[in-house]
Structure 1
Amino acid sequence: MRSASMRLNASHLEKMRIVGYAANSLTSRYYDVLRTQILQDMDKNGWQFLAITSPTPNCGKTVTACNLAMSVARLPEREVLLVDMDMHKAQVSEYLGINHSNNLLSVLEDRASLGDSCVEAKFGPESVSVLPGTPARDGAAEWMASQTMANVLQAIKREFRSGIVIFDLPPLLLGSDVLSILPRMDAVLLVTGVGTTTPNEIKECQKHLQRSHLVRVVVNKVSETSESYYGYGYS
């Protein structure tokens, strides 16, 4: 799958709390542990599509998705595609510092091909393939449930068959968007926020995810809007 390429700016990544590119970073080691646990499950089961969601906004799901994708990309012989599928508040491009004219909506509306819409985001000797997103002005839930989206996912599976695909989804409890796409995902990572996520919200998410393969619940110690670094707990 041919795509445009660009080199990411380390200063911008650091500012946005994207540390997964730095193998020697103490903070990136949290993501490396999470990466190892998730890949073991995915490899064992032959899974390819990993969905990342949260109960509500500001839990850190997009930061987690970006850092996890970079951590996977640092492994030898591993390829990863990061898809921004949050059609309400697409932020992957902002966090990585990517500026690209095409995106997921371009593909859905048949204005651009999948290859022309992806970006090879380079950092050091490694790179992450990124399919940027953009907010849909209306009909986000309808796009997620559409046959067109199903066709795009099949195209991703076909053209990126040797790699792991990470999807940054909208928050689970904000509408029907995530529920309609979950059956097409192989596994789910739920990101919760200390001081943001309530016990009732976690229970509600678990109810919605009963038929999904929930590989991990990440407990994020600060919100996505905080300027400080954060740690993680796993369950």
Structure 2
Amino acid sequence: MEKLQAALEKARYSRQDSQKATRVEDFAKQANGSDLWSAIPNFEVPDHVLQHHRVVTRQAGPNAAPFDILRTKLLLQMRQNNWRRLAVTSPTPKSGKTTIACNLALGLGRQRDMRSILMDLDLRSPSISDFFETVPPHNIGDVLTRQIGFEEQALRFGDNVLCAMSSQIESDPSRILLAEDTVEVLDQIEATYKPDIVIFDLPSVLVNDDTRAFLKNVDCALIVARANTTRYGQFDICEREVNEHTNVLGTVLNAHPYNDKT
């Protein structure tokens, strides 16, 4: 009996040591991840610049509320399906997809327990740099083609949002978005920085083949349509095209006329 008791005690202490070692290892990984994020240069955007571009989610408030509702709905669905990569696209240009993407990213930035990466992959017409009025040190195409590392190109907004922007047009975006190198680079970024969610601002579906080339790399997509501009036929074609390559997470009807009497 005494030998059995001694064996049980030894097993219990061994189990506790193993659990303690696991907790220490997990803490070390988290600390290392924090170091990686804090090593990315920070950039600041004045409030009036954000407001000019209708990016209103830096702070909570009435203007941020619709985007916060959208953020919460997206997060719940993505967590339920264990999805991390979200594409934001539209049937045609000027629908507000970049506005939605930027507001989602900054809204997620207010979630202190979450880390997000925002990537501008509208390589023919990059605009996130314009929205933040910030010129990155390099273009995101240089990262995807392995000319530089992600840490040399990305900028950090606050503590927990990384932005990969571009200020120049790529001459052959489809080649980059179709390349296996791009897939490997994105996988490496995700494995290294371990974001909870990655938001890709993609081109409009009906203007070229860039988005079709890339959608296989995301878990789901949000389609942004513009009231009184996007035609039903355009939206229908866009939804079917997106659904062929990934999951349609939802649709946003942007710029709908506001009536304060309803």
TM-score, reference length from structure 2: 0.80
1:220 is aligned to 2:257: no
Root-mean-square deviation (Å): 1.6
Partner of 2:9: none
Q: Deviations over 1:176-200 (max 9, x none)?
A: 1111111110010000001221000
Instruction: Kindly provide the amino acid, as one letter, of the partner of residue 57 in structure 1.
Output: P
Q: Displacement, 1:202?
A: 0.8
Q: Is the 8 A contact 2:137 2:152 kept in 1?
A: no
> Looking at CA atoms only, which structure, 1 or 2, has the larger radius of gyration?
2
Q: Provide Cα deviations, 1:5-34, integer angstroms capped at 9, x if missing partner.
A: 11221111111111011212x121000000
TM-superposed CA distance for 1:221, in Å, is: 1.3
Separation in 2, partners of 1:188, 1:181: 11
**Quick one: distance in 2 between partners of 1:127 and 1:17?**
21
Match of residue 49 from structure 2: 12
1:162 Cα deviation (Å)? Answer: 3.7
Gaps of 5+ in 1: 223-229
Tell me, yes or no, if the aligned pair for 2:135 and 2:167 is still in contact at 8 Å. Answer: no
Letter in 1 for 2:51: E
Q: CA deviation at 1:135?
A: 4.2
Match of 2:112 among 56, 73, 76: 76
Alignment-derived partner of residue 30 in structure 2: none
Q: 1:148 corresponds to which residue? A: 181
Residues 58, 196 of structure 1: 8 Å contact kept? no
Deviations 1:49-102 (A, max 9, x none): 000001010000001100011111111301111000000110001101222221
In the alignment, does 2:194 pair up with 1:161?
yes
**Matched pairs, number:** 220
TM-score by length of 1: 0.88
Superimposed CA distance per residue, residues 115-173 of structure 1 (whole angstroms, 9 cap, x where no aligned partner): 11110023xxx552101124444211111111121122112221232421000001011
User: Which residue of the partner structure matches residue 205 of structure 1?
Assistant: 238
Is the CA contact 1:18–1:63 (under 8 Å) kept in the aligned structure 2?
yes
When you count helix as a share of all residues, which structure comes out higher?
Answer: 2
User: What stretches of structure 2 of length at least 5 have no aligned partner?
Assistant: 1-35
How is 1:67-106 mapped onto 2 (pairs within 5 angstroms)? Answer: 67-106=103-142
Write out the 4+ residue segments of structure 1 that deviate beyond 6 Å after TM superposition. none
SS at match of 2:237: helix
